C-alpha cells in the first residue's frame, strides 16, 4: 500500500521529496482553507497527517479521516493535537523532540543578546542618523535560569555555560541526575535566582501560566525574560503589565498565545524583541525534522515501532 500523507505544515515544501522518495503520496494543505478542503475531498484516502504543535489536529478532523493511522508532529510540542481522540482510535502519534534543538537554542541566545544589549533599538537609532551611547548589561558570569531542561534547554545551557561563562539553574517537574546545573523547585524560585530567564518548556495544561505576576516580580526590574517555548506558559496580561511598569527589564518573545496575532501592547513597548515563531526554522532543522517524520512513517508502515512515540492517554471505552 502507498500511504497518503496530509501535510499541514507551511515551511517544509523544499524537503517534502524526503517523504515522497519513500513512496508516500503527499497532499499539501498549509492554509486553513486548503486544510478543510483537503479533508473534505480526500478524507477517505488519508493514512497519515504531518502537522506541528500550534497547528494541531482536532477531534472533528480525526473523525473525518477514517483511514488515519499515524499523526507525525514536527518539533517537540503537540499541544493542539487531540491525543484523547487519537488514543480512542488507536492512532499512533509521534513528534520530533530534540531534532531542531540546536536551531532553537541558537535563536534563544540571539534573542537574549538582542534584548539585553539593545540591538534592535540601537540599530533603529543609527538608521535615524543618531549615535546613542547607552550602557547595557553583559552576559558573562550572570545567572541564567532555564524553565524546561529538555533537549532544547540542554542546548541553551551548553551555549550559555561554555560560550558566556554563565551560571545555569533550571526548573523541571523532576530534577535531572545527569547534569551539574542547579535545580530550583519552583518557577518562582528559578526566577528569583536568575538575571535572565529563558522559557524552553513545552505547552499544554501542565505548563500553562507557570510564569505569572509572582514569577515576574521574582525576576525583578533588572531581569530579562526570553520565551521560545509556548505562549501559554506566560500570563500575557501579567507580562504586559510588568513590562509597562518596568517591573522587569524586558522580554524577547518568539511565541504567543494566539499566533499569528500579537498583542498591540507588546508591539508598542520599547523593551521587547519580537519574532514570528521562527526559532526552530533553519535549513538544517527543516531537513532533519522532515527526515525524522519520514523515518517514523517508514517504520510504522513496515510494522515496526516508531522512533519517537508520544505517550497517549488510555482510550475512553
**Which residues are known catalytic residues?**
230, 259, 277
| Local structure of 231: helix, strand or coil | helix
Long-range contacts formed by 32-38: CB under 8 A, 24+ apart: 35/8, 38/6
CA distances from 257 to 54, 176, 260 (A): 10, 29, 9
Q: By the 8 A CB rule, do 305 and 282 touch?
A: no
Give the CA-trace dihedral at 53, 161, 225, 11, to 10 degrees.
Answer: -30
Helix ranges (H only) for the chain are 16-20, 32-42, 59-63, 83-89, 101-117, 119-127, 151-158, 164, 187-192, 213-219, 236-244, 264-268, 283-301
Give the contacts of 112 (CB within 8 A, at least 6 positions apart): 139, 196, 198, 224, 226, 252
Reduced to 3 states (helix: H, G, I; strand: E, B; else coil), residue 4 is strand
Phi and psi dihedrals of 237, rounded to 5?
A: -60, -40
Rounded Cα distance, 46 and 65, in Å? 6
Amino acid at each position: 500500500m502507498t500511504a497518503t500523507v496530509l501535510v499541514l505544515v507551511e515551511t517544509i515544501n523544499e524537503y517534502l521529496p524526503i517523504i515522497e522518495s519513500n513512496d508516500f503520496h503527499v497532499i499539501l494543505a498549509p492554509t486553513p482553507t486548503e486544510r478543510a478542503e483537503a479533508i473534505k475531498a480526500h478524507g477517505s484516502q488519508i493514512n497519515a497527517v504531518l502537522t506541528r504543535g500550534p497547528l494541531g489536529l482536532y477531534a472533528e478532523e480525526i473523525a473525518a479521516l477514517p483511514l488515519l493511522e499515524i499523526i507525525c508532529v514536527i518539533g517537540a510540542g503537540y499541544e493542539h493535537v487531540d491525543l484523547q481522540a487519537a488514543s480512542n482510535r488507536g492512532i499512533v502519534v509521534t513528534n520530533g523532540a530534540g531534532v531542531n534543538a540546536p536551531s532553537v537554542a541558537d535563536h534563544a541566545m540571539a534573542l537574549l543578546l538582542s534584548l539585553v544589549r539593545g540591538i534592535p533599538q540601537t540599530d533603529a537609532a543609527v538608521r535615524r542618523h543618531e549615535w546613542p551611547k547607552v550602557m547595557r548589561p553583559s552576559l558573562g558570569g550572570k545567572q541564567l535560569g532555564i524553565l524546561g531542561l529538555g533537549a532544547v534547554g540542554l542546548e541553551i545551557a551548553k551555549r550559555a555555560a561554555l560560550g558566556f561563562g554563565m551560571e545555569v539553574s533550571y526548573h523541571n517537574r523532576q530534577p535531572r541526575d545527569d547534569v551539574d546545573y542547579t535545580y530550583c523547585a519552583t518557577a518562582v524560585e528559578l526566577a528569583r535566582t536568575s538575571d535572565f530567564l529563558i522559557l524552553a518548556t513545552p505547552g499544554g495544561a501542565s505548563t500553562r501560566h507557570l510564569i505569572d505576576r509572582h514569577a515576574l516580580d521574582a525576576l525583578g526590574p533588572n531581569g530579562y525574560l526570553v520565551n521560545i517555548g509556548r505562549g501559554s506558559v506566560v500570563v500575557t496580561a501579567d507580562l504586559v503589565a510588568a513590562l509597562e511598569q518596568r517591573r522587569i527589564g524586558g522580554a524577547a518573545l518568539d511565541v504567543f498565545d494566539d499566533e499569528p496575532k500579537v498583542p498591540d501592547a507588546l508591539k508598542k513597548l520599547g523593551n521587547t524583541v519580537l519574532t514570528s515563531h521562527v526559532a526552530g526554522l533553519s535549513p538544517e532543522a527543516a531537513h532533519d525534522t522532515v527526515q525524522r517524520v519520514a523515518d517514523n512513517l517508514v517504520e510504522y508502515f513496515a510494522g515496526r515501532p516508531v522512533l519517537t512515540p508520544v505517550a497517549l492517554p488510555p482510550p475512553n471505552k
